[in-house]
């Protein structure tokens, strides 16, 4: 059994998600202890519990210690089969973090997977569903794996209520991804998403106006007002280059002018663009397990985050690969 110290480096839920995901893929049981030890409320929260229980359903696995607040779990994976079912994270638990956990084993399913997930689509401390669709899924597609993400309803904090349908077909295989040069800059696309009650104040449009005060060379601009259980707003933007995409999100908060929300998103994206890196800092940590499963690859990241370092550390425990960091360049090779 592979034992993982959940307090390592960033010490958050990322360790749990990556470990259980790769355990399902490789068939190696794992024990994770000190789960979220450094957090104000240590142990499993609802979104973590839903993520690992969903993986267990995908592979007919068994869990021990799977309850709210637990700081130790054991996971015994079975055969990855797939199927059709639904998951309710509750309130505004992040849908994209659950998707991060289930996609690696879903790649190896023997039959089609369809999952309806309820929770938060645009919430703090996680990629927005817009980043996930337009940036993360873009790189997954380039690696030979296509997933369908259908956003039925948006969910903001605190009530959530978002609905996303995820589908993946069997028989797909990952291939290596190496991006060492960006190529020429092409354009920036923006998605500004708000609850319908903010339409009278033109919040979605004003977020875009604020964004363009910092980065004016946009091409596709999308303003969306939608029925939600909670008032909320989010802006996502990504920059297209010949060989890559760089993305950024920013979530609106009460009392913050819409223009400022847009400007903050643009500042983040501008920093990513000025870094010269081929992947933004979030993609730089999310791509790690897929590189290892594909058997290698190389990219540069705007920042080597603790999330990225943690993911490399966990991934090397399950797969015969070695990651190397040279400056802001991460490479992966088979051992």
The pLDDT tens digits along the chain (335 residues) read 999 999 999 889 999 999 999 999 999 999 999 999 878 889 999 999 999 999 999 999 999 999 999 999 999 999 998 889 999 998 899 999 999 999 999 999 988 999 999 999 999 999 999 999 999 999 999 999 999 999 999 999 999 999 999 999 888 889 999 999 999 999 999 999 999 999 999 999 999 999 999 998 888 999 999 999 999 999 999 999 999 999 999 999 999 999 999 999 999 999 999 999 999 999 999 999 999 999 999 999 999 999 999 999 999 999 999 999 999 999 999 98
Contact 148, 167 (CB under 8 A): yes
Contact 21, 289 (CB under 8 A): yes
Q: Tokens 């956990």 map to which residue?
A: 101
Q: Which residues contact 254 (CB under 8 A, 6 or more apart)?
A: none
Q: Where in the chain is the domain with CATH 3.30.360.20?
A: 185-274
Provide the CATH topology of domain 2-179+279-334. UDP-n-acetylglucosamine1-carboxyvinyl-transferase; Chain (3.65.10)
The pTM score is 0.96
Both tokens of 294, joined, read 């594909």
Longest dimension (CA), the chain: 58
Provide the CATH topology of domain 185-274. Dihydrodipicolinate Reductase; domain 2 (3.30.360)
Handedness of CA 26, 31, 35, 38 (dihedral sign): negative
Residues designated as active site? 307
Q: Where in the chain is the domain with CATH 3.65.10.20?
A: 2-179+279-334
């Amino acid at each position: 059994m592979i034992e993982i110290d959940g307090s390592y480096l960033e010490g958050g839920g990322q360790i749990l998600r990556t470990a259980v995901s790769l355990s399902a893929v490789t068939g190696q049981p794992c024990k994770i202890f000190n789960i979220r030890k450094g957090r104000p409320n240590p142990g499993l929260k609802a979104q973590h519990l839903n993520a690992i229980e969903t993986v267990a359903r995908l592979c007919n696995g068994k869990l021990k210690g799977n309850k709210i607040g637990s700081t130790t779990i054991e996971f015994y994976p079975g055969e990855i089969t797939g199927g059709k079912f639904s998951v309710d994270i509750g309130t505004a638990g992040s849908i994209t973090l659950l998707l991060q956990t289930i996609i690696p084993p879903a790649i190896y399913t023997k039959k089609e997977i369809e999952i309806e997930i309820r929770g938060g689509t645009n919430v703090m401390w996680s990629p927005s569903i817009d980043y996930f669709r337009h940036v993360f899924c873009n790189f997954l597609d380039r690696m030979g794996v296509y997933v369908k993400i259908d956003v039925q309803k948006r969910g903001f904090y605190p009530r959530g209520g978002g609905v996303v349908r995820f589908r993946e077909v069997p028989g797909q295989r990952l291939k290596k991804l190496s991006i060492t040069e960006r190529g020429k800059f092409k354009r920036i696309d923006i998605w500004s998403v708000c609850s319908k009650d903010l339409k009278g104040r033109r919040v979605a449009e004003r977020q875009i106006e604020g964004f363009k005060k910092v980065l004016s060379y946009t091409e596709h601009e999308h303003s969306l007002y939608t029925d939600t259980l909670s008032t909320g707003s989010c802006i996502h933007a990504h920059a297209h280059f010949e060989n890559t995409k760089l993305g950024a999100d920013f979530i609106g908060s009460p009392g913050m002018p819409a223009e400022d929300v847009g400007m903050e998103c643009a500042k983040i994206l501008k920093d990513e663009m000025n870094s010269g890196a081929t992947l933004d800092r979030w993609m730089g940590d999310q791509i790690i397990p897929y590189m290892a499963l594909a058997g290698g690859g190389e990219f540069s990241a705007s920042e080597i985050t603790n999330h990225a370092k943690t993911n490399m550390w966990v991934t090397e425990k399950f797969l015969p690969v070695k990651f190397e960091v040279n400056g802001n360049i991460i490479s992966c090779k088979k051992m």
